[in-house]
Amino acid sequence: MNKRFEGKVMLITGAAQGIGERVAERAAQEGATLALVDRSPLVLELRDRLAATTRVIAIETDLEKFEGALQAAEATHKAFGRIDVLVNNVGGTIWTKPYEHYGPEEIEAEVRRSLFPTLWGCRAVLPYMLKKKKGAIVNVSSIATRSVNRVPYGAAKGGVNAMTACLAFENGERGIRINAVAPGGTEAPPRRIPRNSAKPGKKEQAWYQQIVDQTVDSTLMKRYGTLDEQASAILFLASDEASYITGTVIPVGGGDQG
């Protein structure tokens, strides 16, 4: 097994389920010391499962607030004395419908969920990396910046792309690389804690199916990706193998550029 992250501390947000969970599992196998962050207590189960493989802590906190991101960064640095890699993975569509059906409070909720945790995460962790003059940040965006029935989410992820580029400009000469991956549709087990607990009606089901159809139609491979295909791209950008890559958004969507 390649040990690309031996001796490195990796902070992963949104680690309890889906892509974040798979990144954590793979990073542990590759030698990373882990700080797993999520507002769900499921992150404690992942910590216990990975503890046999690596040094790991879990932090339950709400990353939609700066205080939560600050808590995560401080706890990680206190436990391990450094933060080498940050993977900002929090985000996800809460509602799927044409834009005219979104209420103002829903629009704000989508942006809080899928933009602010990345803004706050970078702001909380950068000072630790700047002191060392070295670090890597990988933001998880989405190819949904060009898609249907997810305008607020797409806008939030467009913000993630912009901040990735701007932060790379600011920090490239200071030893810190900032990149993003933009996942396409990804096959994953059903979420144990759904983003939206409301039971969808026929109209909502039809709107969601439009997303699925458009996602598959937009890919050149005509399929969804896997969790490992997403994790591989994230961990590549996080590793020293990508030492001359910064300010880049890599679409991982079977040819869909987003």
Of 201 and 52, which is predicted with more confidence?
52
CATH architecture of 9-252: 3-Layer(aba) Sandwich (3.40)
Q: What band does 5 get if pLDDT is binned at 50, 70 and 90?
A: very high
The proportion of the chain whose per-residue pLDDT surpasses 70, expressed as a percent, equals 97
- Length of the chain in terms of residues written: 258
The model's pTM:
0.95
Of 23 and 195, which is predicted with more confidence?
23
Domain ranges of the chain: 9-252
Predicted pLDDT at 158? 98
CA pseudo-torsion sign 127, 129, 133, 136: negative
At CB < 8 A and 24+ separation, what contacts does 187-196 make?
187/224, 187/225, 187/226, 187/227, 188/17, 188/18, 188/19, 188/227, 191/17, 191/18, 192/17, 192/42, 193/16, 193/17, 193/40, 193/42, 195/92, 195/93, 195/94, 195/113, 196/94, 196/95
What does pLDDT average to over the chain? 95
Q: What band does 193 get if pLDDT is binned at 50, 70 and 90?
A: low
Predicted pLDDT at 258? 85
Predicted pLDDT at 190? 76
Q: Active-site residue numbers?
A: 153
Q: For residue 175, is pLDDT > 90?
A: yes
